[in-house]
């Protein structure tokens, strides 16, 4: 059995670990439990009733968190000429074409999101072995292959995040920072849950949301009330 440290042991005494809570109460427990001197990330983990090995049960999408993520997101944009200039003006850290592709091929992937204009996909397509495993390959369905690269950069910088179900049927997402007000964190969680429900694939049968836990980097895991989430 895993031993619990004194700090977490004290926190666990303040709430029922076996109980399920609505989003607002779960966020309050995390905020009350904060003991660290750094701004922890608040994370949501949800078990879904899907088998992502089947194409019709894959869950993937994007959602803009209304209060942002609190995280500094580094963006790379594959574009030329005017589009490259507009991407830089929008705040992209890395902008280029073949030169940027060469950096990526060397393993220099110091960015969190990747965007490309459609005319650059012949170049970006050759980077699949590098970008694919990292979940960074631009995709038109996710809005990361677009003519308006500047708008895409601003969306990412403004709190847009991607989500994708893992092999075990779990979706993980950072939904804010522990420094956020309770209402802001709760709103981000609810918006994410709503986007996830809307992304339910046609092949999903029975209960879609099975289990959900809200936690922070150094905090406890708080179970969420699935019925409450389904009513979002």
pLDDT at site 227: 86
Interatomic CA distance for residues 111 and 149, integer angstroms: 16
What is the value of pTM for the model shown?
0.82
Q: Quick one: tokens of 169?
A: 């049927």
The sheet carrying 113-116 orders its strands as 94-96, 75-78, 113-116
Tokens of 19: 């109980």
The closest of 152, 143, 139 to 90, measured between CA atoms, is: 152
What is the secondary structure of 165-200 as a DSSP string?
--TTSEEEEEEEETTS-HHHHHHHHHHHHHHHHHT-
CATH code, 6-68+161-230? 3.30.190.20
User: Which residue blocks in 62-181 are alpha helix, DSSP H?
Assistant: 81-90, 98-105, 121-124, 128-131, 149-157
Helix (H) or strand (E) holding 32: helix 23-33
Predicted confidence at residue 14, as pLDDT, reads 72
User: pLDDT tens for residues 22-71?
Assistant: 999 999 999 998 887 889 999 999 999 999 999 999 999 999 999 999 98
Q: Where are the domains of the chain?
A: 6-68+161-230, 75-157
Q: Residues in the chain with pLDDT < 50? A: 1
CATH architecture, domain defined by 75-157: 3-Layer(aba) Sandwich (3.40)
């Amino acid at each position: 059995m895993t031993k619990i440290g004194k700090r977490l042991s004290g926190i666990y005494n303040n709430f029922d670990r076996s109980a399920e809570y609505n989003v607002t109460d779960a966020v309050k427990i995390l905020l009350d439990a904060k003991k660290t001197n750094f701004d922890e990330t608040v994370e949501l983990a949800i078990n879904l009733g899907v088998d992502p090995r089947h194409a019709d049960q894959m869950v993937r999408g994007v959602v803009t968190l209304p209060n942002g993520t609190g995280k500094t997101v580094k963006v790379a944009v594959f574009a030329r000429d005017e589009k490259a200039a507009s991407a830089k003006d929008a705040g992209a850290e890395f902008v280029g074409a073949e030169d940027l592709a060469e950096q990526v091929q060397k393993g220099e992937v110091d960015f969190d999101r990747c965007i490309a204009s459609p005319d650059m996909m012949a170049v970006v397509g050759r980077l699949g072995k590098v970008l694919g495993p990292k979940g960074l390959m631009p995709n038109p369905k996710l809005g990361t292959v677009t003519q308006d690269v500047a708008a895409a950069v601003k969306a990412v910088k403004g709190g847009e995040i991607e989500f994708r179900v893992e092999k075990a049927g779990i979706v993980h997402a950072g939904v804010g920072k522990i420094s956020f007000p309770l209402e802001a964190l709760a709103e981000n969680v609810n918006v994410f849950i709503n986007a996830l429900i809307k992304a339910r694939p046609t092949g999903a049968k029975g209960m879609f949301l099975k289990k959900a836990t809200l936690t922070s980097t150094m905090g406890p895991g708080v179970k969420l009330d699935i019925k409450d989430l389904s009513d979002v």
